[in-house]
Amino acid sequence: MKIYLDNCSFNRPYDDQSQIKIFLESQAKLFIQSEIKKNKIELIWSYILDYENSRNSNLDKMKLISDWKSLASIDVEESQAIIKNSKELMERGLDIYDSLHIACAFEGNSDFFVTTDRKIINKLSFFQELKILNPIEFLNVY
C-alpha cells in the first residue's frame, strides 16, 4: 500500500492540539508514520514536499519533516506529466501547490493521498484515480 502525505499532514502534529479534531488527526497521522517505519505502508515523497518544507520558518520542524524523505520508497521528481496534470487540477479550483502534490501522488502510483486540508478533499470528491482522505478517514479504510 502506497501513501502520499501532503505538507499539511506532516505539519499537523505541530498545530495547536487543544482542538479535538486537530488532536485526533495528529494521532492518526502519527500512527500512519509508525506504520511507515514498520514498512507496512510505503511512503511516497516528492520534489514539491522538499520545496514547501524548505520554506518552513521553523528549522527544527523543517528538519524533522525532511527526515521522512529517507523512509520514502519513491521520490517523485518534476516531469511534464506532473505539470500537465497539475494544470488540469488547477482548472478545477486547486492552488498550484495542492495540484502539484496530487499530481505527484498520482505519478508515484499512490493508493491514498492523505491531507488535513478539507478544501482539497471537498474539491476532489469526484477524483476516482486516487483516494483522497484525511488521516482519520484513512485509518478507517486501512
Among the listed residues 46, 7, 59, 32, the one whose alpha carbon sits nearest the alpha carbon of residue 138: 32
Domains of the chain, first to last = 2-141 (3.40.50.1010)
The whole-number average pLDDT for the span 3-8 is 97
- pLDDT beyond 90 at 64: yes
Q: What is the reported pLDDT for 129? A: 80
The yes-or-no verdict on residue 77 having pLDDT over 90 is yes
Q: Which of 3-17, 31-45, 63-77, 119-133 has the lowest mean pLDDT?
A: 119-133
pTM of the model: 0.94
Q: Please, what is the average pLDDT of the chain?
A: 96
pLDDT tens string 13-32: 999 999 999 999 999 999 99
Q: How far apart are CA 63 and CA 53, in angstroms?
A: 9
- As given in the structure block, the three cell numbers for residue 78 are 518534476
Distance CA 135, CA 126 (A): 19
- 126: pLDDT strictly greater than 90: no
Distance CA 44, CA 113 (A): 10
Task: Give the model's pLDDT for residue 128.
Answer: 80
Convert the pLDDT of each residue in 87-124 to its tens digit. Answer: 999 998 999 999 999 999 999 999 999 999 999 998 88
